[in-house]
Every structure is written in C-alpha cells, then in structure tokens.
C-alpha cells in the first residue's frame, strides 16, 4: 500500500492502454446505459432470483426469506435439516452481511474458517440485516437464506475458504472482460478485491488465467495456498459465459457485472448481478476496458438487437481475446 504511493503514471499512458476511470465508467456507461428504474432488478437479490427463474437462468436455490423481526425467532425452524446455507441481505452491497455456514457441530453452526456460531448469533445477524445494517442507504431489508454452493474441485488450492466466483462484465450483453475472484485469509473468505481477495483475469475464449493481482499488485501464486495461478482453468467455460450473456435480456442493464459461481453438481449459477461493477477487473486482466466498450458501442443497432446471446459470446471471443 505504502509502496503504491510512490508509483504514478501519466493520464496519457492510461489513455493509451484504454483504461476506464471511475468518472468515465459512471458518466459514459452507468449513467447512460443503466436506467435507474431497473436498479431493483439487480440491487434486490430476491427480485433477481425471481427474474432468473422466469427466464430459466440457473441460480442457487432459495430456502427462505425472513422479512419481519417477528420471523427471526423462527429462524431455527427454518434452518432445520439444512447442513449448509448462506444468509445474505437482499439489498446488500460489496459483499456486506453475507454469512456462510458450511456445517453443523451440535448446536453450533460452522463458518468456513471453523468459527462456531450459535443460533443466537445467526438471529442477531438476521435481525441486523432486517434493520438495514448491510443494505444500501440503511433501508430496511429482507434476509435471504439460500443454497450454499458446493464449489467445484477445479479450484482446489486456488481459494482459501469461501466460494471463488467469476465476474463477467458485459456491455449491451456482450461479455467484455472476465475475472475470477479468489478469497484469501485476509479477505475472510469473501471474494471482494478491496477486502484482499485475489483477482485473476480470465481469457474469454478458453477460460484460462491470464494474469493475477492482489491489493492492486501483480502476483503469481495464491498467497495462502501457494498454487501457481497461471494453472487456473475455469471448467464449463462456454456454458458459463453464455449464462452471463443471457443476463442482459433478463435485466436490460447496458453495463452489467454478473457474478457466477461453479457448483460441483449444478455447474454455473448466477450468484448476483451488479449494476456498478468495479474497475479492478482491468488490473486483473492487465488490459483496459475502453477499446472493447467502444467496439460494442460502434456496432449498428441492427447488429446488436438481432444478435442472440450465443452470437454475442461468439463476437466477444473473436474480438476481445
């Protein structure tokens, strides 16, 4: 972090690489292509799930919703028979308030790092969630309890606890860039880069790793497991990228990030959508977004509208690899 302070570059260098800055992303893409009225489709995960089911896109199964404080007492009953599950706020942001339980030990619930939580702890977490502690702007929220992903063996050794997920950024439905987010010890099993997760740029054709960063610096090995990140390959890649691309029809957001996880049995599942995907993906891929965004913007309306999700994936794989 301190070392970063002494390293600067010129705006012209960034422009040459086609790096999109915050202002550019917010002004030219998010503000222009993401209508405010559609935000609930991605900000409210319950709504996303309902939509995805309608469109036949695969998502983790919803076990239940806690909407009122009075329902908090029945949490124990709701969790009966569930060995593993995830509790998350419906309108959380930046991974806030997501509690993963991977097993039980008597009356205790086990977090991925082995920490034991009581039912009481879970109830407090749900209660906080309902009172809006984790949601955007502190609004009252719902707590969702859903299927905990059994993550694929393909990522053994690439992630320290938690579910590694794949973020695909799409522009007008065209996948423009992808990265894998690997949780680390310092990110507490969470997959957010600013919390210390590792970002691995993924090749759009093959699903293979291109380059990797942690804390904004290039790295080659996973900091906790020591596995060489270059060896990482995302299985079911074509299926995954197609699933991401189909999210465009579902939520009609121009500039969209889809967070997708790979389940051992179920394959790619949409974990959540994001209308304001971050810019760290550029660092992970060691490439700028702008040339790709502009290429899509320069397509004719007919080309864009007539293209199916598969066509868009083909285009991306041809031009953005």
Partner 1 sequence: MNSKVQLRILIFILAAVGIGTMLTKHFQIGYPLIPKQQIPIWTIEAKVTFQATGDPVKVSLAVPGEQARFGILEETGSSHDYGFIPAGNDPMIAGFYRSVIWSKDQAKGHQELYYRIDVYKKKSAEDVELHAPEVHPTQKYSVGQLAVAANEVITTAKRHSADSETFVGQLIQTLNNQSNQNAQTLIASAKTDLERARLLNTLIINGGFESHLIRALILSETTTKQALQPIIILIDGEERHAFVWGTPKPVKHESTLAWQRGGPSLIEVEGGKNARVEFSVVKQELPASFVLEQASRQREKTLTDFSLTSLSIEQQDSYRLLLTIPFGALIVVIMRNIIGIRTTGTFMPILLAMAFLRTNLGPGLILFVIVVSAGLTMRAYLSKLDLLLVPRISAVVVVVIGIMVGFGIVGGKFDLQIMQSVTLFPTIILSWTVERLSVLWEEDGPKEVGIQTLGSLVVAIMAYAAMGSPTLRYLVFVFPELLLVALAVILALGQYSGYRLSELMRFAPLVKDNKEGAA
Q: Which residues bind partner 1 (CB under 8 A)?
A: 1, 4-5, 7-11, 13-14, 17, 19, 21-24, 27-28, 69, 94, 96-97, 120, 124, 127-128, 131-134, 138, 194-195, 211, 213, 216-218, 282-283, 286
In the complex, the smallest distance separating the C-beta of residue 48 from partner 1, rounded to whole angstroms, is 21
In the complex, the smallest distance separating the C-beta of residue 254 from partner 1, rounded to whole angstroms, is 16
Nearer to partner 1, 213 or 296 (CB): 213
Cα atoms in the Cβ-side hemisphere of radius 13 Å centred on 310: 1
Nearer to partner 1, 98 or 270 (CB): 98
In the complex, the smallest distance separating the C-beta of residue 133 from partner 1, rounded to whole angstroms, is 6
Alpha carbon 30 to its chain centroid, in Å, reads: 17
Nearer to partner 1, 84 or 127 (CB): 127
Alpha helical stretches, state H, the chain: 11-17, 22-24, 31-33, 39-43, 45-55, 75-78, 119-130, 237-251, 280-285, 290-297, 301-306, 309-319
In the complex, the smallest distance separating the C-beta of residue 229 from partner 1, rounded to whole angstroms, is 15
DSSP secondary structure letters along 22-39: HHHIIIIIIHHHS-GGGH
In the complex, the smallest distance separating the C-beta of residue 221 from partner 1, rounded to whole angstroms, is 17
Nearer to partner 1, 76 or 138 (CB): 138
- Residue identified by tokens 């799409």 is 170
What tokens were used for 21?
Answer: 């800055």
Q: What is the DSSP pairing of strand 174-182 with strand 165-171?
A: antiparallel
Burial class of residue 28, CB neighbours in 10 A (0-12, 13-18, 19+) = middle
How many whole angstroms separate alpha carbon 75 and alpha carbon 94? 25
Nearer to partner 1, 183 or 282 (CB): 282
For Cα atoms 256, 4, 184, give the angle at the middle one, nearest 5 degrees: 60
In the complex, the smallest distance separating the C-beta of residue 286 from partner 1, rounded to whole angstroms, is 6
Nearer to partner 1, 24 or 82 (CB): 24
């Amino acid at each position: 972090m301190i070392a970063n302070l002494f390293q600067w570059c010129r705006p012209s260098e960034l422009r040459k690489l086609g790096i999109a800055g915050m202002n550019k992303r917010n002004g030219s893409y998010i503000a222009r292509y993401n209508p405010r009225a559609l935000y609930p489709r991605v900000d409210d995960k319950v709504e996303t799930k309902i939509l995805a089911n309608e469109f036949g896109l695969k998502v983790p199964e919803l076990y239940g919703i806690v909407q009122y404080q009075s329902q908090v007492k029945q949490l124990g009953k709701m969790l009966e028979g569930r060995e593993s599950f995830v509790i998350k706020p419906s309108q959380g942001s930046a991974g806030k308030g997501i509690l993963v339980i991977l097993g039980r030990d008597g009356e205790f619930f086990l977090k991925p790092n082995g920490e034991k939580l009581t039912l009481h702890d879970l109830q407090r977490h749900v209660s906080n969630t309902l009172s809006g502690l984790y949601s955007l702007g502190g609004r009252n929220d719902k707590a969702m309890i859903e299927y905990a992903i059994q993550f694929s063996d393909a990522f053994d050794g690439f992630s320290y606890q938690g579910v590694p997920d794949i973020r695909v950024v799409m522009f007008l439905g065209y996948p423009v860039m992808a990265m894998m987010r690997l949780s680390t010890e310092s990110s507490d099993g969470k997959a957010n880069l600013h919390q210390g997760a590792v970002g691995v740029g993924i090749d759009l054709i093959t699903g293979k790793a291109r380059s990797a960063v942690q804390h904004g610096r290039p790295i080659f090995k996973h900091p906790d497991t020591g596995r060489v990140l270059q060896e990482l390959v995302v299985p079911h890649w074509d299926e995954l990228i197609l699933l991401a691309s189909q999210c465009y029809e579902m939520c009609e957001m121009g500039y969209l990030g889809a967070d997708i996880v790979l389940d051992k049995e179920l394959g790619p599942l949409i974990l959540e959508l994001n209308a304001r995907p971050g810019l760290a993906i550029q660092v992970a891929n060691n490439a700028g977004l702008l040339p790709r965004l502009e290429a899509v913007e320069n397509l004719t309306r007919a080309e864009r509208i007539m293209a199916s999700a598969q066509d868009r994936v083909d285009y991306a794989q041809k031009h953005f690899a």
